[in-house]
Amino acid sequence: MVRYAPVLLFLIPLVLALSCDSGLEPPPPDPDPVGVISGTVTYSGNWPPENELRELIFVPLKFIPSDFTQVLNEFLLGNLKSSERLEFYVPSDTFLVTELENGVYVYNIIANQYGPVVFTDWRPLGVYIENDGLIFIDNDTVFIHIHVDFDNLPPFPPE
């Protein structure tokens, strides 16, 4: 047995080292939890003239803006997500916003750039009103509907 002692002294630590799976190390963190808003928008009333339709998008916000500067600041900080451009002069359209942080989105609008100044010439055309206007994102996809009535646009800032 003595002649195997040096071999055992070498093999036992080697086997233990190879069998260690870092059990005391915490698991790697999950990727940031994100969700998706998928929706439809329907339109009624008379569309604005073509020169007032420079951009049309869906924008979910986690705050109710008191003026457009707040929205602009979020955009410049990279905290603002929006859909791709929506079609003009159609009865309805669909939109999608992906990789949204989990949380509550409290002001969710179809936004329109109506003038040439990209940093100031925006207005809401329609506001999500179901579920008290709240969208809850929790690692899931939420489906919503917004109606835009061009003859009765929502106020901005919201009341």
pLDDT per residue over 5-61, tens digit each? 555 555 565 555 555 555 666 666 656 679 999 999 999 999 999 999 999 999 999
Print the domain residue range for 124.
34-89+99-146
- Is residue 27 assigned to a domain? no
User: Is residue 63 in some structural domain?
Assistant: yes
Beta strands, E only, the chain: 34-44, 55-61, 92-101, 103-105, 107-113, 122-127, 135-137, 141-149
pLDDT digit string (tens) for 50-107?
Answer: 999 999 999 999 999 988 888 888 888 888 999 999 999 999 999 999 999 999 999 9
**Predicted local confidence at residue 77, as pLDDT:** 86
Question: Is beta strand 141-149 parallel, antiparallel or unpaired with respect to 34-44?
Answer: parallel
Is pLDDT at 132 greater than 70 in this prediction? yes
Task: Answer yes or no: is 138 within a domain.
Answer: yes
Domain count, the chain: 1
Query: What is the token pair recorded at 42?
Result: 């329907």
| Residue 107, in any domain of the structure | yes
Task: Quickly state the pLDDT bin for 137 (edges 50, 70, 90).
Answer: very high
1 versus 126: the higher-pLDDT residue is 126
Residue 18: inside a domain, yes or no?
A: no
Examine residue 22 and state whether it is found in any structural domain, yes or no.
no
Strand partners, 143: 38
Decide if 49 is inside a domain: yes
- Model confidence at 140, in pLDDT bands (50, 70, 90)? very high
Q: Is residue 154 part of a domain?
A: no
